[in-house]
Every structure is written in C-alpha cells, then in structure tokens.
Amino acid sequence: QVQLVESGGGLVQAGGSLRLSCATSDRTSSSYAIGWFRQAAGKEREFVAAISRRGSGTAYADSVKGRFTISRDNAKNTVYLQMNSLKPEDTAVYYCAARWAALIETIKLMSEDYPAWGQGTQVTVSS
C-alpha cells in the first residue's frame, strides 16, 4: 500500500497563498491518481481537487476553481496543491489520497474511491 505524507500547511492571511505537497512512498507513484480533500471542524470531508496518474487530467471543486491548482512531478513522487487567494472558509485539515488508476480513467471525486490516505496538514486562513 502506498504511503502518503502531506506538508506545507500553516497560517496565512486572507488573500495569501500556500503550496501543499503530497509525497508518496512508492516508486510506481505514476500508477496512482491523487486527490486532495479537506475537512473543516464540525464538517464532513469534501473533495478539493484531483489529478490523473500522468497529470493530463485534473478536476476541481467549484469552491476552489480558479484559485487552486493541482500538479504532479512523478520524477519526485510528489503532488502539489497551489492555493492562491485563500479565504477563511478554506480553513481545514487537508488530506491527500491515492488510488491505483488505469491509464485511461475518469477522475474520481469521492473519498470512498481512494483507499490510501495521508495524515493531513492544517491550513488556517485568518480574516
């Protein structure tokens, strides 16, 4: 089972930026589609963004579209989430998750489709 480690969270003012990283332990990380999810205090976990195994396909939640960008560097076994124009409502614990993916596959948006998860990283946006 691939292992995932998130980093890059922190405290930022509204309008600021952060870049989250998700490092995978598997040398075959290019076989995995990666998703970012977040969970705010007292709320259910929600989809943020996802990227296909080779990075050719991406998907975003409407709430972050135009502000967040997901990308990956398979040579470094790392997926990134660049977050710009952050808002207080973006405050949450952010998790990356992985699923083995076929070469051609619809990007999955449901947390249930991702069997491997990282421990999460806290993002706090102050107003």
Closest CA to 81 of 123, 13, 19: 19
Q: Could you report the per-residue pLDDT of 2-16, keeping only the tens digit for each?
A: 899 999 999 999 999
CA distance 123 to 102: 31
- Residues listed for the chain: 127
pLDDT of residue 35: 97
pLDDT tens sequence across 70-92: 999 999 999 999 999 999 999 99
- Are 36 and 70 in contact by the 8 Å Cβ rule? The answer is yes
Q: Is the pLDDT of residue 96 over 80?
A: yes
Segment 15-56, tens digit of pLDDT: 999 999 999 987 777 889 999 999 999 999 999 999 999 999
Per-residue pLDDT of 116-127, as tens digits, reads 999 999 999 999
Predicted confidence at residue 28, as pLDDT, reads 72
